[in-house]
């Protein structure tokens, strides 16, 4: 593994390439949400045809309240909603007549409630069929998967079975004995919920099987997957419940401080995320083993990792639990350098991208540079005529990843429409932006920079406006819904990207 990762690491630092940012949920399909099925393979084919070497996605985790891929029930488990039902038919776990018929699903946006209601009964039926079929080969593969992933799978499956038993409430509201993990209570519920626990193991087996097959197809076509690793885990997660000692909890397993960011570009009151903050002293005592295990598991899923909120490894914004906004937090130094060194010592040189956005101080830059990580440059942030910034292309060095925008930004067309006349004039002076096709101009500019990697969200390739925005930081619900429809990708899109990619030496 270390040799393969080192090759990827060196390639990422030296070889010019480009790619597309598109989450799995945004793919087209008949059942309300993008999945790991045929349309995902078709998208890989589009990347190949257009000369792209990178597919960047958002975290693949099992999402909770708000449907954000950055707030998941586990730092390791995959999202069951991404399991493709048609592939389950191919594997004889479902029959074709089991699939939803005469049910309308919105093709442009994910209706998560409706998808939940239709998808989970199919997963349950697939599990029941698996038990009754006595398929020896599948049983052996399932057993191997459980053994190889027991480190996280047992906690996740038990947590989800408990969460179902307690009607979906957060683990902090469970009965005291199981919340506090008293041994008698653990043994009782393991026995009582044994079948549900095995069901959650099984759906992870299905997810990993489908995802790793898709990833193999991408890799065989010379397409690498960039995946996100959120710095923090969700408070209502198997990670927090199963490992309370590595988080800033009191003796009753209630949080003392929670995560967020101070007032910034996106919010005048900051962003109160509510994620548990790490007990870094305890993590040090363990040699940062939980982080080592997490990063290693993520490199099973992805070829390259982007650490979201990287600046929190230098210093993090700690907000006292119970605050209504993030204003009254404070900066606390973090031993991110020690943690990363422990990870690198255990796993070797790693292809990691630092999401170095937000309040960036010299210690963040030093930490990123110490490990040779490329940072991020967002062109949408560059053209503020009122102030200087580090996002102007003439300030870039090669070791960076250049984006037109990210999942947290408006689309480039949406941003341009809302820009002031002064900012538009600045863009015209700097790179002759085409006012009839600003998104195309930004893609061309990104591809033309010296940055080793250039990436555009698929919304920009499609020239979509603000209605296609994926997320708005600080807003708890109403986002993560955008999808494109079958037929939107055309030969023209492939030819345009291929031409740019060849022109600017990223082919």
* Alpha-carbon separation of residue 281 from 7, 284, 309 (angstroms): 33, 5, 20
Residue 9 confidence (pLDDT) above 80: no
Three-class DSSP category at 22: coil
Within 8 A by CB and 6+ apart from 172, the residues are 179, 236, 253, 254
- Label residue 388 by pLDDT band (50, 70, 90): confident
**Among 236, 355, 410, 460, the one annotated catalytic:** 355
Average pLDDT in the 109-118 region? 96
Q: Which two tokens stand for residue 420?
A: 């002031």
The residues with which 331 forms a beta bridge, in sequence order, are 317
On whether the CB atoms of residues 28 and 34 are closer than 8 A, the answer is: yes
Q: For the chain, first and last CA: distance in Å?
A: 26
- Report the share of the chain in percent with pLDDT over 90: 89
DSSP state of 232: S
- Label residue 475 by pLDDT band (50, 70, 90): confident
Residue 444 burial (CB count, 10 A): 21
Residue 4 confidence (pLDDT) above 60: no
Residue 481 confidence (pLDDT) above 90: yes
DSSP state of 82: G
Name all contacts of 135-138 with Cβ < 8 Å and 24+ positions apart: 135/92
Q: For residue range 371-386, what is the model confidence (pLDDT) as tens digits?
A: 999 999 999 999 986 6
The torsion angle over the Cα atoms of residues 117, 123, 129 and 133, rounded to 10 degrees, is 170
DSSP readout, 427-441? Answer: HHHHH---TT-HHHH
**Among 239, 303, 308, 356, the one annotated catalytic:** 308
Dihedral-angle region of residue 363 (phi above 0 means left; psi in -120 to 50 means alpha; beta otherwise):
alpha
Packed helices 38-49 and 194-220: angle between N→C axes, nearest 10 degrees? 20
On whether the CB atoms of residues 123 and 94 are closer than 8 A, the answer is: no
Q: Which of 461, 465, 442 is nearest to 377 (CA)?
A: 442
Q: For residue range 155-165, what is the model confidence (pLDDT) as tens digits?
A: 999 999 999 99
Three-state secondary structure along 131-144?
Answer: HHHCCHHHHHHHHH
Q: To the nearest whole number, what is the mean pLDDT of the chain?
A: 94
Global model pTM greater than 0.85:
yes
Q: For residue range 61-112, what is the model confidence (pLDDT) as tens digits?
A: 999 988 999 999 999 999 999 999 999 999 999 999 999 888 999 999 999 9
* Domain range summary for the chain, segments of one domain joined by +: 2-503
Q: For residue range 331-373, what is the model confidence (pLDDT) as tens digits?
A: 999 999 999 999 999 999 999 999 999 888 999 999 999 999 9
The pLDDT value recorded for residue 3 is 42
The torsion angle over the Cα atoms of residues 60, 364, 2 and 205, rounded to 10 degrees, is -10
Known catalytic membership, residue 355 = yes
The pLDDT value recorded for residue 220 is 98
Residue 45 burial (CB count, 10 A): 14
Topology (CATH) of 2-503 = TIM Barrel (3.20.20)
Q: Nearest 5°: phi and psi at 280? A: -65, -30
Residue 445 confidence (pLDDT) above 70: yes
Q: For residue range 201-247, what is the model confidence (pLDDT) as tens digits?
A: 999 999 999 999 999 999 999 999 999 999 999 999 999 999 999 99
Q: For residue range 419-441, what is the model confidence (pLDDT) as tens digits?
A: 999 999 999 999 999 999 999 99
On whether the CB atoms of residues 381 and 412 are closer than 8 A, the answer is: no
The pLDDT value recorded for residue 13 is 58
Cα–Cα distance, 381 to 393 (Å, whole number): 11
- Report the share of the chain in percent with pLDDT over 70: 96
Residue 285 confidence (pLDDT) above 80: yes
Torsion sign (Cα): 160, 274, 250, 323: negative
Q: By CB neighbour count within 10 A (0-12 exposed, 13-18 middle, 19+ buried), where does 478 fall? A: exposed
Q: For residue range 187-198, what is the model confidence (pLDDT) as tens digits?
A: 999 999 999 999
Q: By CB neighbour count within 10 A (0-12 exposed, 13-18 middle, 19+ buried), where does 232 fall? A: buried
Three-class DSSP category at 149: coil
Residue 186 burial (CB count, 10 A): 14
**Among 84, 228, 408, 410, the one annotated catalytic:** 408
Distance of CA 453 to the CA centre of its chain: 19
* Alpha-carbon separation of residue 71 from 196, 208, 404 (angstroms): 23, 19, 25
Known catalytic membership, residue 303 = no
The pLDDT value recorded for residue 496 is 98
Q: Which of 154-168, 225-239, 260-274, 477-491 has the lowest mean pLDDT?
A: 260-274
Cα–Cα distance, 416 to 138 (Å, whole number): 52
Q: How is the chain split among helix, strand and coil, in percent rounded to 5?
A: 50, 15, 40
Cα–Cα distance, 393 to 430 (Å, whole number): 10
- Label residue 263 by pLDDT band (50, 70, 90): confident
Cα–Cα distance, 350 to 373 (Å, whole number): 9
On whether the CB atoms of residues 470 and 417 are closer than 8 A, the answer is: no
Q: Which of 393, 375, 373, 374 is nearest to 383 (CA)?
A: 393
The pLDDT value recorded for residue 242 is 97
The pLDDT value recorded for residue 474 is 73
Known catalytic membership, residue 308 = yes
């Amino acid at each position: 593994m270390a040799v393969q990762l080192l090759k990827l690491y060196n390639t990422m630092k030296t070889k010019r390439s480009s790619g597309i940012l598109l989450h799995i949920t945004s793919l087209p399909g008949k059942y309300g949400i993008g999945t790991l099925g045929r349309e995902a393979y078709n998208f890989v084919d589009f990347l190949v045809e257009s000369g792209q070497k990178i597919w960047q996605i958002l975290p693949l985790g099992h999402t909770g309240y708000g449907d954000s891929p950055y707030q998941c029930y586990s730092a390791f488990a995959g999202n069951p909603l991404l399991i493709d039902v048609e592939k389950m038919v191919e594997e004889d776990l479902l029959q074709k007549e089991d699939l939803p018929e005469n049910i309308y699903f919105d093709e442009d946006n994910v209706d998560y409630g409706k998808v939940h209601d239709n998808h989970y009964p199919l997963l349950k039926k697939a599990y029941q069929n698996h038990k009754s079929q006595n398929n020896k080969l599948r049983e052996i593969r399932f057993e191997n998967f459980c053994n190889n992933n027991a480190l996280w799978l047992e906690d996740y499956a038990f947590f989800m079975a408990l969460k179902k038993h307690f009607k979906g409430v957060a683990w902090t509201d469970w009965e005291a004995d199981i919340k506090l993990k008293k041994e008698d209570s653990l043994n009782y519920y393991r026995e009582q919920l044994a079948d549900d626990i095995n069901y959650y193991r099984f759906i992870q087996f299905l997810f990993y099987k489908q995802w790793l097959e898709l990833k193999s197809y991408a890799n065989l076509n010379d397409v690498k997957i960039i995946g996100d690793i959120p710095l923090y885990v969700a408070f209502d997660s198997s990670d927090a419940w199963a490992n309370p000692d590595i988080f800033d909890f009191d003796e009753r397993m209630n949080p003392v401080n929670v995560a967020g960011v101070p007032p910034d570009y996106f919010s005048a009151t900051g962003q109160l995320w509510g994620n548990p903050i790490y007990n870094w002293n305890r993590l040090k005592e363990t040699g940062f083993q939980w982080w080592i295990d997490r990063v290693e598991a993520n490199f099973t899923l992805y070829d390259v990792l982007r650490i979201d909120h990287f600046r929190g490894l230098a210093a993090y914004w700690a907000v006292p639990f119970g605050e209504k906004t993030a204003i009254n937090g404070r900066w606390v130094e973090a031993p991110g350098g020690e943690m990363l060194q422990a990870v690198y010592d255990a796993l070797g040189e790693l292809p990691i991208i630092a999401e170095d956005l937000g309040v960036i101080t010299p210690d963040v830059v030093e930490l990123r540079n110490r490990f040779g990580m490329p940072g991020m440059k967002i062109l949408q942030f560059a053209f503020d005529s009122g102030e200087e910034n580090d996002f102007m292309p003439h300030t870039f060095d090669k070791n960076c990843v250049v984006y037109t925008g990210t999942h947290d930004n408006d689309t480039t067309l949406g941003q341009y429409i809302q820009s002031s006349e002064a900012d538009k004039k600045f863009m015209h002076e700097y790179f002759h932006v085409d006012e009839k096709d600003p998104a195309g101009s930004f893609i061309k500019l990104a591809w033309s920079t010296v940055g080793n990697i250039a990436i555009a969200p698929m919304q920009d390739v499609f020239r979509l406006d603000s209605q296609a925005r994926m997320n708005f930081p600080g807003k708890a619900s109403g986002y993560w819904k955008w999808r494109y429809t079958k037929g939107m990708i055309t030969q023209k899109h492939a030819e345009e990207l291929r031409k740019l990619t060849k022109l600017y030496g990223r082919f």
